[in-house]
Every structure is written in structure tokens, then in C-alpha cells.
Amino acid sequence: MPPIKRTKFKLAPEQLLDMFYWLKLIRAFDERLSILVRQGKVRSGVYTGIGQEAIIVGTVFALRKEDYVCPLHRDLGSFLMKGVEPRVMMSQMFAKTTGLSKGRDSALHSGANELGIFGNTSMLGANLPVAAGLALTYKMEKRDNVVVAYFGEGASNTGDFHEALNFAGVQHLPIVFVCENNQYAYSVPVEKSMAIDDVADRAESYGFDGVAINGNDVLAVYQATQGALARARTGGGPTLIECKTYRWHGHSEHDKAFYRSDEELAMWRSRDPIPTFTTYLKHMKVLDDKQLQEIEAHVATTIDDAVEFAANAPEPAPEDAVTDLYA
């Protein structure tokens, strides 16, 4: 199998600013959720992806509208980037009728088929065989679309992960497996759950390439995704991209994460993907202080509006609990 080609890409200034906007919006969305959950406004567990945003932005930015994402509990940003309005996403967190599941399900179990978002379940790794099934559909229908499936390094120790990769490798499916290696599976550090350093190495045993990259570098993620997508669209089969990153908050907002040190957190916070990208954009003369202020103001207004909309949206009616059921 040929190695993944290093794709060359040149993003226009507007595209770079767009990427920057998504990083800021997704961060702000999660930060507000973290506050709202403490105010008792959110009716769901909240699993923020703060610190990991470059993975979602770098991957989803490379996708076409018709490509599918299979997100994880931390990937609310992929919903926003695929086209779910912030008002709708916030309503989902508030369990209101204006949310994706109309207030009838945990915030994390929603999807949107029309936007190419697979609704996840709580079972770790269980989205991966389904993602492989979606990719098989694309292959059978001879469409040049790709499925991007996200999972944590913890999930890469489940049987579902190995079955999905094996099937995808055997069938040469158009799928990109994206590992968000944030160093912990709940309280378990990666070295206590894996005997190897890189999840990416697991791809080789299923007959395709895996790469480990800096998951806090949005352009590195974008570049690796572009290469994997180009391969998948042209019949070259799957790729595994392992993005090394760190989650700043606990596993969920109820976890104070006493199992890790302040020094470790400080070290990773110094690798925050957003200031790094800000510095780059300023250096490239793509972003100036005025634009930065405008983007930040727009993000703040968008989030405020989403919260207000969700807070005032109607509650679900008890009788609606049995609508939209499939037998």
C-alpha cells in the first residue's frame, strides 16, 4: 500500500479566518455549557472538548457536505460545523422541543441525517462498526463520499474498534478513523491502558496506514485529513489519524480530575490550539486586532442568542415521548 501522500494545500485568508472562527465558537460553546451546567440549566451530562478543538475544526473543515461524521460525546463542535444552528444545539442541551431530539433524549445521543451526522450511543467504540457500515454504503453506491469516525484512545481498547478497523481494512472502505488521544479515559492514563505508545500503530495490523500527529495544530490536522480523504475518495481505503491532545476539564463537568497534576494541566494549557493559531494568523497578516475583536464579539453574541433561545423554548409534552418511534 502506498504511504499517505503529504498533500499540499493553500487556504485562502477567508478560509483561515473561518477556521479561526470555528475554533473560537466551539470553545465558547463548551465554556458556556460548563457554566450552565453549574447553574442547573443543562439536562444532560456535559463532556466538554475544551483544549481539543483543533481536531474537530481540522477534520470537518476538510469535508464535503455529503460526507458523514460519527461524533463522540466531546464533539459537539462537529454538529455546529456540519450545520446545526447554535440555537438548536443549545436547545438540545436544555432538552427543549427545539433541540435535535425534541427534548426526549440525553444531549449526546442526537444526530442529523440530513446534515450527515450519525447519532451516537453511550457505548464506547460502538459508533465505529456503524461508521464502517455507512462507508460500505458509499462504496456499494459507488459514491466518492467519506465517513469520518471519532473515538478516544480508551475506546481503541474495545472489541468494536478492532472489528470495525478489520472490516474497513478488508473491504477498503472510504473511512477515516480519527482518534482523539486526550491522554485519559475517564481517570485512566493512557500508559495504564495501552502497552504501545501510539494508537496509530494499530492500523497496520488491519492493512492500512496510521499516523500520529499533533492534534493541537489545526493545520496539521487539516493536512492529514486532506491526505486521508483523497485516498478514501479514490478507492484507497481507510486511514487512522491519531491526534495527540489533552482535555482541560474533567471527563465530564462532575469530575474534578484529581487524578492528574496541576503541572501537567499547565503544560498542556501552554499548548492551547487557539493562541498558537492566532499567532500564526497574525504573523501571516491574515488577522489583525480589529478583526479579532469582531470575531470575538460575533461569537459572544451567537452564544448569548443561543442560550436565550434555548432558555425560552417550549418544554416537551409528556405525550410526545412516544412519537417518532420506529418498530
Ligand X SMILES: Cc1ncc(C[n+]2csc(CCOP(=O)(O)OP(=O)(O)O)c2C)c(N)n1
Q: Please report, as ranges, the residues that interact with ligand X according to CB under 6 A.
A: 72, 74, 122-124, 152-155, 158, 180, 182, 184-186, 251
Task: Give min distance, CB of 7 to ligand X, in A.
Answer: 27
Distance CA 45, CA 253 (A): 7
State which residue, 20 or 151, has the beta carbon closest to ligand X.
Answer: 151
Task: Give min distance, CB of 318 to ligand X, in A.
Answer: 28
The cell for 172 is 477498503
Alpha helices in the chain (DSSP H): 13-38, 53-60, 76-82, 86-93, 127-140, 159-171, 218-233, 262-269, 273-283, 289-312
In angstroms, how far apart are the furthest CA atoms of the chain? 57
Single out the residue of 314, 304, 296, 324 nearest to residue 20, CA to CA: 296
Under 8 Å between Cβ of 244 and 181: yes
The 10 Å Cβ neighbour count of residue 201 is 14
Question: Residue 242: in which H helix or E strand, if any?
Answer: strand 239-244
Task: Give min distance, CB of 126 to ligand X, in A.
Answer: 7
Using DSSP, state whether 314 is helix, strand or coil: coil
The cell for 323 is 412519537
Tell me how long the chain is: 327
Strands laid side by side in the 147-152 sheet: 68-70, 147-152, 175-181, 239-244, 209-214
State which residue, 18 or 255, has the beta carbon closest to ligand X.
Answer: 255
Which residue's beta carbon is nearest to the bound ligand X?
152
State which residue, 83 or 189, has the beta carbon closest to ligand X.
Answer: 189
Task: Give min distance, CB of 154 to ligand X, in A.
Answer: 3
Task: Give min distance, CB of 160 to ligand X, in A.
Answer: 8
Under 8 Å between Cβ of 145 and 175: no
Please count the CA atoms within 13 angstroms of the CA of 183 that sit on its side-chain side.
19
Task: Give min distance, CB of 72 to ligand X, in A.
Answer: 6
State which residue, 272 or 302, has the beta carbon closest to ligand X.
Answer: 272
Distance CA 213, CA 231 (A): 18
The cell for 266 is 499547565
Task: Give min distance, CB of 237 to ligand X, in A.
Answer: 24
State which residue, 155 or 232, has the beta carbon closest to ligand X.
Answer: 155
